[in-house]
């Protein structure tokens, strides 16, 4: 979810669901060791519960970054062993780490030791295999090693292989077949561990079905492209008594209030933030016209509240006309 689940995106999602655990974009250890730490780690209190996702393969570096995560107040630190991109592979982390379960165990152990004085869990996100290695034994042994030798207790399993050569990251989310049953078997074989299923989950019926077999479900791009789909999760799956928001109008208005407070409003400031809500009104009459207004660069000098008024008006009538832009 690089360049997707930034701070603005997470604030939007938190307006829709209070209890769903949100994850950051993957942040590399190098970015935290040599870059602007605050830029990568700062977040708003309302984003919690929030997990920091790390990319790296050096135990000492990951331990340092885990301490930073604890210092910043994250609720979880997650080691990414599932990203298949060639750029990540060149850094010797992501999905290629599944070929080195003992190294992953060492990384997790170092991270756990670094935050041992806190309650922050160290978790691992991974695939069910790499390349054409499609035996269940491969992922079973990976989980067993990282759990026993590294002390990891929570595994988030994308139920596809990662093909390290020949497929783009997008193709790696579509071409390797889904094997949800592998994740079910992991839970059966390791009942004391927390197993979270990821991959190919696109509706609440599927979530409910998977929760009969595993401890949790992670939803990625579906939640991003159709954020209002999360509106029922607090009540249906997480025990909340009421919804975070009553309707999409409320979410839009509250998010625009947040966007209007951004110091970079003006120029392209609010465009960068409001791109995350383009799917908010999926299926509603006039949604296409509403999106056209919010993505219209000609309006970038207008206030977000003004643009919201134009967008809602466009939902009720013809597409935004040139004269409306300067009205």
Helix (H) or strand (E) holding 67: helix 59-72
Least confident of 158-162, 182-186, 214-218, 314-318: 314-318
User: Can you tell me the distance from the alpha carbon of 263 to that of 270, in angstroms, rounded to the nearest whole number?
Assistant: 10
Flag whether pLDDT at 273 surpasses 80: yes
From the list 222, 200, 224, the residue with the least C-alpha distance to 210 is: 200
Q: What percent of the chain has pLDDT over 90?
A: 78
Tens of pLDDT along 231-257?
999 999 999 888 889 999 999 999 999
Instruction: Tell me what pLDDT residue 160 has.
Output: 95
Q: Pairing mode, if any, of strands 122-130 and 76-81?
A: parallel
Helix (H) or strand (E) holding 22: strand 22-28
Q: Give all domains of the chain, ordered by start, each with its CATH number.
A: 7-237 (3.20.20.70), 248-325 (no CATH)
Cβ atoms 281, 316 nearer than 8 A: no
Cβ atoms 81, 103 nearer than 8 A: no
φ and ψ at 27, to 5 degrees?
-115, 125
User: Can you tell me the distance from the alpha carbon of 273 to that of 287, in angstroms, rounded to the nearest whole number?
Assistant: 18
Instruction: Tell me what pLDDT residue 264 has.
Output: 59
Instruction: Tell me what pLDDT residue 321 has.
Output: 47
Banded model confidence at residue 323, pLDDT cuts 50, 70, 90: very low
Flag whether pLDDT at 198 surpasses 70: yes
Flag whether pLDDT at 303 surpasses 80: yes
The two tokens of residue 250 are: 């409320």
Instruction: Tell me what pLDDT residue 270 has.
Output: 86
* Active site positions, annotated: 83
């Amino acid at each position: 979810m690089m360049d997707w689940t930034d701070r603005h995106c997470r604030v939007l999602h938190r307006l829709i669901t209070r209890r769903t655990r949100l994850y950051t974009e993957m942040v590399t250890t190098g970015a935290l060791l040599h870059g602007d730490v605050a830029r990568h780690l700062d977040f708003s209190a309302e984003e919690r519960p929030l997990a920091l996702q790390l990319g790296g393969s050096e135990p000492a570096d990951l331990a340092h970054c885990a301490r930073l995560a604890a210092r910043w107040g994250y609720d979880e630190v997650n080691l990414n062993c599932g990203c298949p991109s060639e750029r990540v592979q060149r850094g010797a982390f992501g999905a290629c780490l599944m070929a080195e379960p003992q190294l992953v165990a060492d990384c997790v152990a170092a991270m756990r030791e670094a935050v041992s004085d806190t309650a922050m869990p160290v978790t691992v996100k991974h695939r069910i295999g790499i390349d054409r290695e499609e035996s269940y034994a491969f992922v079973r042994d990976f989980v067993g090693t990282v759990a026993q030798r590294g002390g990891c207790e929570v595994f988030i399993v994308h139920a596809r292989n990662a093909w390290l050569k020949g497929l783009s990251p997008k193709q790696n989310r579509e071409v390797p077949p889904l094997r949800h049953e592998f994740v079910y078997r992991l839970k059966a074989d390791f009942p004391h561990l927390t197993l979270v299923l990821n991959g190919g989950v696109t509706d609440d019926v599927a979530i409910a079905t998977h929760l009969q077999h595993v401890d949790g479900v992670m939803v990625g791009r579906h939640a991003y492209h159709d954020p209002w789909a999360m509106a029922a999760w607090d009540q249906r799956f997480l025990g909340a008594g009421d919804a975070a928001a009553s309707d999409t109008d409320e979410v839009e208005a509250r998010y625009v209030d947040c966007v209007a407070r951004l110091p970079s409003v003006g120029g392209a400031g609010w465009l960068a933030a409001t791109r995350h809500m383009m799917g908010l009104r999926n299926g509603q009459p006039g949604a296409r016209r509403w999106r056209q207004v919010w993505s219209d660069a000609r309006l970038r000098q207008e206030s977000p509240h003004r643009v919201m008024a134009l967008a809602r008006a466009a939902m009720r009538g013809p597409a935004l006309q040139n004269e409306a832009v300067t009205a």
